[in-house]
Chains A and B, each alone.
Chain A
Amino acid sequence: MSSGTRTLVSPLTLARPRGKALYWTVFTAVVLLFALAFLFPVYWMVTGAMKSPDEVTRTPPTLVPQAWHLSGYTDAWDLMDLPTHLWNTVVQAAGAWLLQLVFCTAAAYALSKLKPAFGKVILGGILATLMVPAQALVVPKYLTVADLPLIHTSLLNDPLGIWLPAVANAFNLYLLKRFFDQIPRDVLEAAEIDGAGRLRTLWSIVLPMSRPVLGVVSIFALVAVWQDFLWPLMVFSDTDKQPISVALVQLSQNIQLTVLIAAMVIASIPMVLMFLVFQRHIIAGISAGSTKG
C-alpha cells in the first residue's frame, strides 16, 4: 500500500507480527472513533427526525427509531417554508458565485496582463484587505449597504446585498491573478495577432486554460455564501427573503424538535452532496494550498 514513502513507523516494524497486531488494533480504534465522532452525529440527526416527537425526547434514547415517520421531513418542508428559504439560499449563492467569477476574473486578468496604471497600488490595496478581519467590519459594511454612498439606495433585503460584497474577495481574486500570471504572454500575443480583442482573448484563451483555478474559486464562493450566518442575518430582516441558515435559527425557538432536526438535515444536504461529488478536488485543494506556505 505505501508507495515507498517512509513515515514515523518503519515498514519493517509493521511487518513483524507484533507490529501487525498493533497496527490493526490502532486501525480499528481509529475507524471506531471516526465513526462515533463524525458519522454518528449525522446518523443521529437523520434518524432523530424520523422519530416520534415523544420518542426523540425520551431517556434513555433509542438508537433506532421504533417507528419510522417521514412526517418530520414533510412538516419541516411545509411548516418552516423550506422551499422558499432554500430557493433564497440558491439565488444568493448562485448570484455571488456568478458575479465573483465575472468581476474577479476580469479584474485579475487586467491586473495580471493589461498593465493598468497604478496596478501595483490597486493590487496592494486589495491584498491589504486580507489583513482586515472580515467580521470586525460587518457593522460599517451594514451601514454602507443600508445606504449606499452617492446613490442613497438600500440593498437590505435584496440579494444584491449578498452578491456585491461577495465580489470584494481578495483571496479569490489573488488566486486568479496568480494563475493568470503563469500563462505565457506569447500565447496572448498570438491571439491578439490573430485579431482577438482583450475580451475575446480572455474568453477563448485565458478562461479555458484556467479551468482548475475557476473550479476552486467556484467551490470557495458557493460554500462561503451557503455557510455564512452573521452577514445574511444582518441583511435580511424580512423573513421571506432569509436564507436557510438564518431562517433555521429564527424558527428554532417555536418549533417541534423533530421538525427542526429534519430541517437541519435538509439544510445540510446540498453542501454535503456537493462535497461528496467534488471531494477529490476539495481535499486536494486544501492540502495543496497550504503546504506551500
Chain B
Amino acid sequence: MKTASKPVVLPPAAVGAPEVPRSAGRRAGGPWRRRLADQSRAYAFLVGGLLCFALFSWYPAIRAVVIAFQKYTPGSPPQWVGTANFTRVFHDPEFTAAWRNTFTFTLLALLIGFAVPFVMALVLNELRHAKAFFRVVVYLPVMIPPVVSALLWKWFYDPGAGLANEALRFLHLPTSNWSNGADTALVSLVIVATWANMGGTVLIYLAALQGIPGELYEAAELDGANILQRIRHVTIPQTRFIVLMLMLLQIIATMQVFTEPFVITGGGPENATVTVLYLIYKYAFLYNDFGGACALSVMLLVLLGLFSAVYLRLTRSSGEEYS
C-alpha cells in the first residue's frame, strides 16, 4: 500500500494561493480578459507550426481534389472541366501499365521484402554473439541515400561491367537482363528496394521476437514441438500484430515508389517500370498537365488513405498509440 505513505504536506501553490503575487499585474481585468490573454499566448506558440500545416498539408490536400476537376496550367486562370481529367488519364495506355506495375511491385515487395527480413530476424535472434555487429550491418544500407543505392544497383545490373551477371557466371547460372529486360526489370527494382530498406524491418522484428516470453517456447518444447512447429504455433501468433502493422506500412510506402524506377530504369523498358507516382511526375513536369497529375494523385490518395485509416484504426484499438 504505497498510497498510505504519501506526504500530506500541501504544495506551496495550494497554501498561499491568494497571496502569491503571480503575474498580478498581467492577470488583472477579470477572468474573461485573463482567458483571452492565455489564449493569445497559447496561439503565439502554435501559429508557426499551424501555418506550415495549413499551407503544406491541408491546403494541398484540398487543392489536389479541386485541380483534379480543372484544366490547370500555371500562369493562366483554371477552367472547370468536370471529369475530363479522369477520363483522359484513364485512356492513357500508360495508366494501366502504371497501376499494374505499382500493384505488382507492392505484391513482390511484400513477398520478398517480408519473408526475407522475417527469416533473417528469426535467425539473428538465435545467435548469441556479435548481435550489435549484425544490427549495425543490416541497417547500414538504410543510411545510404536512396539515390546512391539506386545508382549502385544500376551499376550492378549493367549488362557489361555489372556485378550481378558476374555473380551468375561465377555460379555457372544463365545471365539475366536484370533492369534492362521488360520481364525482369520490376523484380530487379524490388530487389534494390528490399536491400535498401530491409534494415528497419529486421530491427523491428528482432524487437518483437525478444518480447516473446520464453516460457511459451519451453512449454511447446515439453509438448514435443519441433523447431518448425514452435515457429508456427508460438513465434508467428506472437508476432502477428507487428507483422500486420508492418505489412500495411509497407503497402503504403511501396505504392509510392519513385526513386528506383526514375533513377535505374526511367520507367522502361517498354513501360515495364512506370509507377503511378512516376506517371504523376510525368503528367506534371513533362506534359505540363497539372489537372491530369492531380486526378491521378486523388486516385492514389483515396486508395492509400483507406490503408492508412485501417492502420490507424488498428493501432488505436490495440490500446497503444504510435509512440
Chain A residues at the B interface, C-beta cutoff of 8 Å: 1-2, 5-10, 14, 23, 26-27, 30-31, 34-35, 37-39, 41-42, 44-45, 48, 56-61, 102-104, 106-111, 114-117, 119, 122, 125-126, 129-149, 164-165, 167-168, 170-171, 173-175, 178, 186, 189-190, 192-193, 195, 198, 202, 223, 226-227, 229-230, 234, 244-246, 248-249, 252, 257, 260-261, 264, 267-268, 271-272, 274-276, 279, 282-283, 286-293
Contact = CB atoms under 8 A, between A and B. Distances in A.
A283 B155 contact: no
B312 A130 contact: yes
A283 B203 contact: yes
A137 B92 CA distance: 21
Contacts, number: 325
B145 A135 contact: no
A39 B137 contact: yes
Nearest to A292: B320
A106 B49 contact: yes
Given A57-B160, A130-B312, A283-B139, A7 B125 contact: yes
Contacts of B161: 56-59, 61, 257
Given A168-B57, A287-B203, A186 B290 contact: no
A198 B152 CA distance: 50
Given A5-B214, A164-B52, A286 B203 contact: yes
B210 interface: yes
Interface string B134-172: 111111110111111001100110001101001001000
B91 interface: no
Contact of A139 (B38, B49, B235, B293): B293
Given A165-B52, A248-B148, 11 more contacts: A35-B137, A38-B137, A107-B48, A116-B43, A135-B256, A141-B56, A165-B56, A175-B323, A274-B143, A275-B143, A293-B320
Nearest to A30: B123
A249 to B, nearest CB: 6
B97 interface: no
Given A186-B11, A248-B148, A293 B56 contact: no
Given A59-B161, A133-B304, A287 B45 contact: no
B82 interface: no
Given A107-B50, A133-B256, A267-B145, A291 B218 contact: no
- Interface SS, A side: helix
Nearest to B26: A197
Contacts of A102: 48
Nearest to A9: B126
Contacts of B13: 189-190, 193
A227 B145 contact: yes
B84 interface: no
A5 to B, nearest CB: 6
Nearest to A192: B22
B86 to A, nearest CB: 15
B147 A245 contact: yes
Contacts of A146: 74
Contacts of A244: 145
Interface in B200-234: 200, 203-204, 206-212, 214-215, 217-218, 221, 227, 230-231, 234
B39 interface: yes
Given A7-B214, A34-B134, A167-B49, A264 B61 contact: no
A282 B230 CA distance: 31
Nearest to B139: A283
A292 B323 contact: yes
B7 to A, nearest CB: 13
Interface in B174-210: 195, 200, 203-204, 206-210
Contact of B140 (A56, A130, A136, A272): A272
B155 A261 contact: yes
B32 interface: no
B152 to A, nearest CB: 6
B144 A271 contact: yes
A262 B64 CA distance: 40
B300 interface: yes
Given A139-B64, A293-B241, A38 B46 contact: no
B145 A6 contact: no
A267 B290 contact: no
Contacts of A130: 308, 312
B278 to A, nearest CB: 10
B122 A8 contact: yes
* Residue of A122, A135, A279 ringed by the most chain B CB atoms within 10 A: A135
